[in-house]
Amino acid sequence: MKFFIDTANLNDIKEAYDLGVLDGVTTNPSLMAKEGITGEANILKHYKDICDIVDDNVSAEVISTTYDEMVEEGRKLAKIDDKIVVKVPMIKDGVKAIKQFTAEGIRTNCTLIFNAGQAILAAKAGASYVSPFIGRLDDICQDGLDLIAQIVQIYSNFGIETEVLAASVRHNMHLIKCAEIGADVVTCPLNVITGLLKHPLTDSGLEKFLADYAKGNK
């Protein structure tokens, strides 16, 4: 399973990359705004800065909503770096744009997926990734993990190559359950990745090992 970090914060991206476990980055317009990145030139530069940190897979989201504009914007994003994956919303023109990007060899991440039908459509258009949002479904009392399992099953039925990128991952159990289900990728904030390190028995065990070593090596 690949680990992507879901942020536009360069320090968090560096920290996750330095841990040696990071396979990519997802951003969205809200995450860019949170970092104060505004204006086209700054936005394009910020994506380049992210690409310079990681090895591959930097999702950069279009803000256009019509086919022609999405294609133009996506091409511009793809030109920033070979690591860019153009993130496109699950709307009618988005599906058409994904089909066009696929024909041009531009990788895509179809975002805002909330049911299996949308995931089927995105895959038919040739999306490289689909992003079902677990946490936002949980927020409205629908089980986001059930959707991940359903899409993984459907893609497996037909040998579909589109990768299931579990998004809106809010905590460690989301991530672990996604691994059990067989999601290809999870994207989550830094604290969820570093949260995987933690267990109180690890801490107390290490403390005891070091104390015992110190006693015998005075």
| CA–CA separation, 171 and 189 (whole Å) | 9
CA angle 136/139/140 to nearest 5° reads: 100
- Per rule CB under 6 A, is residue 111 in the interface with ligand E4P? yes
- Per rule CB under 6 A, is residue 168 in the interface with ligand E4P? yes
- Per rule CB under 6 A, is residue 108 in the interface with ligand E4P? no
Nearer to ligand E4P, 30 or 217 (CB): 30
- Cα distances from 38 to residues 30, 31, 81, 187, in angstroms, run 11, 11, 20, 23
Nearer to ligand E4P, 125 or 192 (CB): 192
**Residues within window 11-30 making contact with ligand E4P, judged by CB under 6 A:** 26, 28
109: nearest Cα among 92, 126, 134: 126
Q: Which two tokens stand for residue 148?
A: 């991940």
Nearer to ligand E4P, 122 or 167 (CB): 167
- Per rule CB under 6 A, is residue 6 in the interface with ligand E4P? yes
Q: Where are the beta strands (DSSP E) in the chain?
A: 2-6, 24-26, 58-61, 84-89, 108-113, 129-132, 163-166, 185-188
**Residues within window 119-158 making contact with ligand E4P, judged by CB under 6 A:** 131, 133, 135-136
Applying CB under 6 A, the residues found at the interface with ligand E4P are: 6, 26, 28, 111, 131, 133, 135-136, 167-168, 187
Please identify every residue annotated as catalytic: 87
